[in-house]
């Protein structure tokens, strides 16, 4: 396996009118599961295709292991088939006339691998993916999830330096998605494979990634482990994109009181976090972010009596929607159910508040 380095990548379409990626630099270490995350159209596929060599960028460099595979400035461009990367596209195409066995064996036979070796390799990968029983079937005789695993298997048999996966679970139902997600993560760890995995689904990113590269409008917004993006989002976009249910956002003004600085959102007034105090002054406008999971139902903190607007039972947890005047707040509690009544108590911890500049969106 190998590390991947992308430096100062810029890709445009339409003769430069659409900038799909700009100033994109990040590194993926050997054996890392890296997620390229971001909303539709932000440039994820463009970056992945640049690594695969399917796109020649306008500027920048891509390195796989010790080899520079693309360097616009250096005049280097290694063809996709010579990069030793395996790619799984969102619209995975299996050969309909070949059996599962045939689909897995094809890339190996095409490279002239000996029969016995092909047999060994295909059996190994089939075993790993739990599709040994399906080897004689054709793609039309498989479920979507099974087809997905065959497509993945076709990438795995190749022993590439790097796996590039573009929304590979897009076609699966929710249950299968969770199952294959878990399987893929296990396989990745077992093979110590370097994987770059594209998704727009933050849950997928949070559960699978060692690290997330979050993009918006062709640019990187934040790169870090999932927890870091969740706990220290560098701006409002990251705060809103990562975390489910989404973070609560309140517009506040900083006011001084006898007890110190308060964040005044009208119906709700919260003490300013200790750690942020020196950065705040009366009259300042802020956006305060409160993660639903940081709102408790008991214990220490600032208790708020809110009107109950609705409850969504999730099995092991409940999502509780409350309101205080014009302000809506959502909490996520690790309780199987709650007593339904008109009012509930939301307990806020001032030290868990996220503060942002309403103009630039930057974290304070
Ligand atoms: N071949 C193309 N010609 C012109 N514009 C393109 C082309 N491919 C992509 N784009 C544009 O470049 C931008 C980035 O596209 P890209 O496919 O990389 O986004 P993405 O993040 O993969 O989106 P999605 O999640 O919808 O797959 C978009 O604005 C898109 O419309
Ligand atoms: Mg895409």
CATH number of 4-241: 3.40.50.300
pLDDT number for residue 67: 95
Q: Which fold has domain 248-356?
A: OB fold (Dihydrolipoamide Acetyltransferase, E2P) (2.40.50)
- Residue whose Cα lies nearest atom 12 of ligand 1: it is 20
- Residue whose Cα lies nearest atom 30 of ligand 1: it is 41
Helix (H, G, I), strand (E, B), or coil: what is residue 114? coil
- Ligand 1 pocket by C-beta < 6 Å: which residues? 13-14, 18, 20, 38, 40-46, 200
- State how far the Cα of 114 lies from the Cα of 116, in Å rounded to an integer: 6
pLDDT number for residue 113: 93
**What residue ranges do the domains of the chain occupy?**
4-241, 248-356
Using the predicted structure, report yes or no on whether residue 73 has a pLDDT greater than 90: yes
For the whole prediction, is pTM greater than 0.75?
yes
- Residue whose Cα lies nearest atom 31 of ligand 1: it is 41
Q: Is residue 283 exposed (0-12), middle (13-18) or buried (19+ Cβ within 10 Å)?
A: exposed
Strands 302-313 and 318-324: antiparallel
Please, what sign has the CA dihedral across residues 114, 117, 122, 125?
A: negative
> C-alpha distances in angstroms, 279 versus 124, 228, 258, 362, 364?
58, 21, 19, 13, 7
Find the distance separating the first CA and the last CA of the chain, reported in whole Å.
Answer: 39
pLDDT number for residue 263: 95
pLDDT number for residue 171: 67
Mean pLDDT of the region 329-358: 90
Mean pLDDT of the region 157-171: 85
Residue to mutate, 46, 198, 202, ligand 1, most ligand atoms under 8 Å from C-beta: 46
pLDDT number for residue 164: 94
Contact between 22 and 57 under an 8 Å Cβ cutoff? The reply is no
pLDDT number for residue 3: 96
Grade residue 147 by pLDDT with cuts at 50, 70 and 90.
confident
> What is the rounded average pLDDT for all residues in the chain?
92
Strands 343-348 and 295-296: antiparallel
């Amino acid at each position: 396996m190998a590390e991947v380095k992308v430096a100062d990548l810029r890709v445009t379409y339409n003769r430069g009118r659409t900038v799909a990626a700009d100033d994109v630099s990040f590194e993926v270490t050997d054996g890392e599961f890296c997620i390229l995350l971001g909303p539709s159209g932000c440039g994820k596929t463009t970056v992945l295709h640049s690594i695969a060599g399917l796109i020649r960028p306008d500027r920048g460099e891509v390195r796989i292991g010790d080899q520079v595979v693309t360097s616009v400035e250096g005049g280097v461009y290694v063809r996709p088939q010579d990069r030793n990367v395996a790619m799984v596209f969102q619209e995975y195409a299996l050969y309909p006339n070949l059996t599962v066995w045939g689909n897995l064996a094809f890339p190996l036979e095409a490279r002239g691998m000996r029969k016995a070796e092909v047999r060994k390799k295909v059996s190994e990968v089939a075993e790993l993916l739990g599709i040994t029983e399906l080897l004689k079937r054709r793609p039309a005789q498989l479920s979507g999830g099974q087809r997905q695993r065959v497509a993945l298997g076709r990438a795995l048999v190749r022993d590439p330096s790097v796996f590039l996966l573009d929304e590979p679970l897009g076609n699966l139902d929710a249950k299968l998605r969770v199952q294959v997600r878990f399987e893929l993560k296990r396989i990745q760890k077992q093979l110590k494979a370097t994987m770059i995995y594209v998704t727009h689904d933050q849950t997928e990113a949070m559960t699978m990634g060692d690290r997330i590269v979050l993009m918006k409008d062709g640019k990187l917004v934040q790169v870090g482990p999932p927890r870091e993006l969740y706990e220290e989002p560098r701006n409002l976009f990251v705060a809103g994109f990562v975390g489910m249910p989404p973070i609560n956002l309140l517009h506040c003004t900083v006011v001084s009181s006898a007890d110190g600085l308060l964040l005044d959102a009208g119906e709700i007034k919260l003490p300013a976090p200790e750690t942020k105090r020196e950065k705040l002054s009366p009259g300042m406008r802020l956006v305060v972010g409160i993660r639903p999971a940081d709102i408790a139902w008991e214990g220490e903190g600032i208790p708020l009596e809110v009107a109950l607007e609705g409850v969504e039972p999730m099995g092991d947890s409940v999502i509780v929607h409350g309101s205080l005047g014009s302000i809506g707040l959502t909490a996520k509690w690790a309780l199987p159910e709650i007593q339904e009544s008109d009012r509930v108590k939301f307990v806020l911890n001032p030290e868990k508040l996220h503060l942002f500049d309403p103009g630039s969106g930057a974290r304070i």
